[in-house]
Amino acid sequence: MAASLVIQSLAGAVTGELLGIIKDVLKKSFACKENCKRLQKTLEGIMPVLADDTKSSVELSQPSQSMLSELHQELQKGVELVKNCSKVSRLNVYKSYKYANEIKRLESYIVNFTQTKGWVHICSELRSLSEQQHKMEDKLEKIELKIDAIREESEIKFIADQMDQLDIGKRAFESNVPE
C-alpha cells in the first residue's frame, strides 16, 4: 500500500514541478513557447485528478500502480526536456525544432494516457472496488445471520426462563393452597 501511495504522490508532485518549470520557461524563453503552452494546458487538465489521487488513501491495483509509475517516468523526462528547452538560444533553430517536437510527443503521450490508459486505470479500480463491495456484503450477510441466530437463542432462553418461573410460581401457589 505504501508503494501505491508513494507513486500517486510522486506523479502529482512531478506534474506540479513540471507546471512550475513551464511557467518559468514561458516567461523567459521563446523556443518551444507554443508547445509549452499546449503542454501546460494539458497538465492543468490532469492536475486535479492527480491531486485527488494523492489525497486518497485507497491502495491501487498493481496494473494501476505500473501505469502511474510509467506516467511519473514520462513526466520526469518532461521536466528535463523543458529545462533543456529553456537553455536553447533563439538562434539555434535546429535545437528549438528538436525540443519542440519532443514536447509535442510528451503532450501527445499525456493526452493518450488520459484518454486510454486513464480509462483502463478507472475500470480496473472500479472492478476492484466492486469485488471489495461484494466481499463486504457477504461478510455483512454472515454477521446478520449470526445476529439472528443469537436473537433466536436468547428468545428461546428467555421464554424457557419465563416458563420455569411460572412453573416455580405454580408449585409455590399449589403448596400454599390448603386442601
Of 97, 119, 92, 83, the closest CA to residue 35 belongs to 97
pLDDT in tens, 77-126: 888 888 888 888 878 888 888 988 998 999 999 888 888 877 776 777 77
Residue 137 has pLDDT above 90, yes or no: yes
19 touches 75 (CB < 8 A):
no
| Confidence at residue 1, expressed as pLDDT on a 0 to 100 scale | 44
Q: Mean pLDDT across the stretch 39-49?
A: 82
Residue 159 in domain = no
Q: Which residue has the higher pLDDT, 58 or 50?
A: 50
Mean pLDDT value across the chain: 77
Enclosing domain of residue 50: 2-138
Burial code (b: 16+ CB inside 10 Å, e: under 16) for 23-43 equals: eebbeebebbeebbeebbebb
Residue 155 in domain = no
In the numeric block, which cell numbers belong to residue 4? 501505491
Residue 122 in domain = yes
Residue 10 in domain = yes
pLDDT-derived band at 5, boundaries 50, 70, 90: very low
| Confidence at residue 96, expressed as pLDDT on a 0 to 100 scale | 83
Of 11, 15, 22, 20, the closest CA to residue 81 belongs to 22
Residue 152 in domain = no
Total structural domains within the chain = 1
Number of H helices, E strands in the chain: 5, 0
Residue 149 in domain = no
Per cent of the chain over pLDDT 90 is 10
2 touches 58 (CB < 8 A):
no
Residue 155 has pLDDT above 70, yes or no: yes
What is this structure's pTM?
A: 0.59
Residue 146 in domain = no
Residue 170 in domain = no
